[in-house]
Amino acid sequence: MIYYRLDGKILFSNVKYNDLEIINEDIAKKSSGIIYFLKETSPIKSRRSFSISDTSLMFIEEEGLNLIKSSDAEKKDLPKWIIDKVRSRKVTCINTAYPKWQKVLKQSHPEKWKVNVFGLGDVGGTLVTGLRLLGGDCISEIGVYDRGEDRKTRWILEANQILSACDDKKYPQVVGVSHDELFDCHMFVFCASVGVPPVGGAAKDVRMIQFEGNSKILRTYAKMAREKGFQGVFAVVSDPVDLLCKSVFLNSNTCENRNLDYKGLAPEQIRGYGLGVMHARAAYYASLEKDKSHYLREGRAYGPHGEGLIIADSISNYDEDISMYLTKKAKEANLEVRAAGFKPYIAPALSSGSLSLIATIKGQWHYSTTYMGGVFMGAKNKLISSGVEIERLQLPMTLLSRIEESYNNLRRII
């Protein structure tokens, strides 16, 4: 290893960077904070930065579904102090192929986050309600914006009147923000949507219809985030989150001559929130039958919100029949709500939205879509001070085959 110092931070690599100040290992190992491992790989297929949760992640040549699989290739010949840093999640990997890679060295998470929400329809309004009720210990302020000024006024008035009279619980203030202020925050949450079928309308998967409409709206905000130099989390709640996240990444990183220059949002800044409710739906149906209730303790969800979803009843004792049953029930749960005469937005807004966003802010495990080798794929993960950590498990081959099929389908679409 070669060790470096830049802007007061300790960096190291197994390749030489001629433009960096080289230091000796004795100086490097005195660092009590996060240290940074440098490597260079194709930006279209890897993130700008992530948390190294085991040493094998330092040397993978190409990111993909290997990010969710446990590895037997951990490096044991590294210095013990580096291995200890990895185990305590104090090593960040930086891809120096990104033009703005040095910005990672200056990143830090605030004690409380300012969250701006765009789109105050059924989902957006319910999501703001959840953030107001549950986010007092981690959210400093909730900014709201909608193209309809009346809706913005309504939610400023209504949300700020959600208050318990008999305790000292803190509630984040809800304020209106202008269009130009949307990215003056730590987390931007996109909830605007077009193409949602009315109750009694099409009962099929309408993801591609929504993708066409929502991607056109999002293109403007992907470009805007680039122009503003936004360094926070760009959270997509509108469907289909996995495809829209990829669209945001491509549009944000495309320059005026239509070439990818990777000077916009880093892929790890973009996260999709749709898988949380699919896990919650699977858990609900599993709880109704004793032989399936183990999902609540042992199960996992992977993939997109909708077609391509994978529910695994258990990682340790995987059962294909139960898993396929729970997958079907989770995918069709929204149709049951529609059959009752209502739009299915409450559970998505709270399970995929409010609860998952708060878990992200707090650095807790949750379900969301993150970047895996050119595809935004849903899995259990958390955002900690050293970056994104994706849960890695020993996966049964039958389950892994299902995940690979879903992953490849997403890659073919966009």
3 state SS of 110: coil
Domains of the chain: 2-106 (no CATH), 113-272 (3.40.50.720), 275-413 (3.90.110.10)
Q: 1: Cβ–Cβ under 8 A, 6 or more apart, which residues?
A: 12, 13, 14, 25, 78, 79, 82
Q: 282: Cβ–Cβ under 8 A, 6 or more apart, which residues?
A: 295, 299, 301, 311, 326, 327, 329, 330
Rounded CA gap, 90 and 40, in Å? Answer: 20
Which amino acid type is present at position 171? Y
Residue 377 φ then ψ, to 5°: -125, 135
Per-residue pLDDT of the chain (414 residues; tens, 9 = 90+): 999 999 999 999 999 999 999 999 999 999 999 999 999 999 999 999 999 999 999 999 889 999 999 987 777 789 999 999 999 999 999 999 999 999 999 999 999 999 999 999 999 999 999 999 999 999 999 999 999 999 999 999 999 999 999 888 999 999 999 999 999 999 999 999 886 667 766 545 566 778 888 999 999 999 999 999 999 999 999 999 999 999 999 999 999 999 999 999 999 999 999 999 999 999 999 999 999 999 999 999 999 988 899 999 999 999 999 999 999 999 999 999 999 999 999 999 999 999 999 999 999 999 999 999 999 999 999 999 999 999 999 999 999 999 999 999 999 998
Q: How remote is the C-alpha of 288 from its chain's centroid?
A: 30
- Residue 167 has a pLDDT of 86
- Residue 81 has a pLDDT of 97
- Residue 195 has a pLDDT of 66
Which strand ranges, in their side-by-side order, compose the sheet holding 173-176?
173-176, 139-145, 113-118, 187-190, 233-236, 270-272, 366-372, 375-384, 387-390
Rounded CA gap, 313 and 290, in Å? Answer: 13
Question: Which residue, chain included where needed, has tokens 């849903």?
Answer: 378
**What sections of 68-206 are H helices per DSSP?**
80-87, 122-134, 149-159
Residue 281 near residue 344, CB atoms below 8 Å: no
Residue 173 near residue 131, CB atoms below 8 Å: no
**Is the previous residue joined to 43 through a cis bond, with omega within 30 degrees of 0?**
no
Task: Transcribe 329-387 into DSSP letters.
Answer: HHHHHHHHHHHTTS-S-HHIIIIIIIHHHHHHHHT--EEEEEEETTEEEEEEEEEETTE
- Half-sphere exposure (CA, 13 Å, Cβ side) for 262? 18
Residue 120 near residue 144, CB atoms below 8 Å: yes
Residue 177 near residue 140, CB atoms below 8 Å: no
| pTM value surpassing 0.75 | yes
Rounded CA gap, 163 and 171, in Å? Answer: 8
Q: 40: Cβ–Cβ under 8 A, 6 or more apart, which residues?
A: 15, 95, 96, 97
Rounded CA gap, 187 and 52, in Å? Answer: 23
Rounded CA gap, 30 and 25, in Å? Answer: 9
